[in-house]
Chain A
């Protein structure tokens, strides 16, 4: 999917309970998860989000539970990339494993505002703010991680390799 869209901006310590509240964890279908994504922190998110949009947030994004439903909900909602100052470790792993692109880039987080237009090139780790013309560099993932994300997740990647 092309990474090109508008920014939804949040603060530090966005936890998995606000990304997808546990009361909805009795249904793991993508459509059900997407329909409640970010509900407890931003009730308007699901009404406003469009395919390709980008989440920008502070430190420790995705802290809390190990629920893979959290990155799944974000991906299913149409978000094409999450940029944060840092990620909680289980979320970080889960995002890669289900093929949700993420980048750590404190400079971009400091400069990018809600509603800005953003484009990114994952293989180079470059983020463009189309609204201000600024450009930011993040550490790109090594090739094998990019391959997992491009294949749509770890198990699709393993299946492709005949494992």
Chain B
């Protein structure tokens, strides 16, 4: 029976020769992940079982990134609960302020995830690691707790949708535009329960950060995971980082797909998701004034995104009345921003630069919107109230569009500068 790449990874971790869509399997996990929001609930659940020790302290990652550095006393208590648990259990991959970064930028950077891995994370954007050819998917805290207890998880084997990418993206079009275009095409439940497998000649024109962005937002189409082939770009990224042997899985040529979409990347335009669903995508719009711009998050906080923001902001100023908040996703990205002179460009333009945090993306802190305010953001969700007041608006866009909008003071593409 022919299998997709995702199915092959699941089969290997379930010690089965083959699996088929719909089959229920129990599979071994290479890593389980939680953060300071989902970790405390997972720890509480773990303790309910009466278990003393986690199954494998080297295969658990706890990253304090959502409301850290702590935004208030309650957040501080949540991080403290994770810190105590990590110490008690000897969790090897515990990342606190000073070492932490936004989890889905941090774990690949540290080489904790790579091609052929199977992992779950108590964060919906865990699907990011498909960029490296891993099967990774978001779960809740209880699955995380069961994962810490057994280092296993049950899965329903997903069917898949194939996206054949061709052509080279135009200037000012990047991974964010590709995934927003796809979500606009298939809808926020267009890939519900399914894998999104990306293939085709166009893949070679997408750098690794583009691919992280694309897989990151697979969940925004309802998908279980997103996955790219393991090519030279992926291998180059993993070289010197990923310590375990690379296992590259490719779909069988006759693998079954629920649907196949052909997407010509050369035809895509800068794409924006209008409030209040990621599927509300547009490539043309009237003059829409902006109060805040956020460039960062697990979707677009990597060095490529910082370089794009700097390319647009260099020698320009953030418009009066706009607050521009730039958040490098990890300490390493932050350091690179300093080394490459990007921080000075941001400061000269009148933007602020924050330590890594998920804060504003989910309306936590570091950039909350007041009633009636509007943000252009490189983050991943524009639901009602997502970044603050229930009557505020979030427009999801690439770092090109976000930076150009900061300069113009209204929703803009770099072509308008």
Q: What is the interface of chain A, defined by CB distance below 8 A to chain B?
A: 13, 15, 17-18, 21-23, 25-28, 40-41, 59-60, 63-69, 71-72, 86, 88-90, 93-94, 97-98, 153-156, 158-159, 163
What's the minimum C-beta distance from B205 to chain A, rounded to whole angstroms?
A: 30
What's the minimum C-beta distance from B357 to chain A, rounded to whole angstroms?
A: 13
The CB with the most chain B CB atoms within 10 A, among A71, A89, A98, A158, is that of: A89
Stretch at the interface among B14-22, B67-75, B409-417: B67-75
7 contacts between A and B (CB under 8 A): A22-B386, A25-B362, A26-B72, A28-B40, A65-B381, A155-B46, A155-B49
Interface residues on B, range: 35 or more
Chain B 134-155: CB-based contact to A (< 8 A → 1; otherwise 0): 0000111111011001100000
Contacts of B126 in A (CB 8 A): 66
Contacts of B384 in A (CB 8 A): 15, 17-18, 40-41
**How long is the Cα–Cα vector from A64 to B381 in the complex, in angstroms?**
8
The 4 closest A-B pairs by CB, nearest first: A94-B140, A26-B74, A97-B142, A68-B140
The verdict on A22 contacting B363 (CB below 8 Å), with A158-B49, A159-B48 known, is yes
B146 touches A155 (CB 8 A): yes
Contacts of B267 in A (CB 8 A): none
Q: What is the interface of chain B, defined by CB distance below 8 A to chain A?
A: 37-38, 40-41, 44-46, 48-50, 66-67, 71-72, 74-75, 78, 121-124, 126, 138-143, 145-146, 149-150, 188-189, 192-193, 219, 222, 224, 277, 362-364, 381, 383-386, 390
Contacts of B145 in A (CB 8 A): 155
A65 touches B362 (CB 8 A): yes
**How long is the Cα–Cα vector from A25 to B123 in the complex, in angstroms?**
13
**How long is the Cα–Cα vector from A15 to B385 in the complex, in angstroms?**
11
B383 touches A15 (CB 8 A): yes
A153, closest chain B residue (CB): B142
Contacts of A23 in B (CB 8 A): 363-364
Contacts of A156 in B (CB 8 A): 48
A23, closest chain B residue (CB): B363
The verdict on A90 contacting B383 (CB below 8 Å), with A23-B364, A65-B362, A158-B146 known, is no
The verdict on A68 contacting B142 (CB below 8 Å), with A17-B385, A25-B37, A41-B384 known, is yes
What's the minimum C-beta distance from B281 to chain A, rounded to whole angstroms?
A: 15
A17 touches B383 (CB 8 A): yes
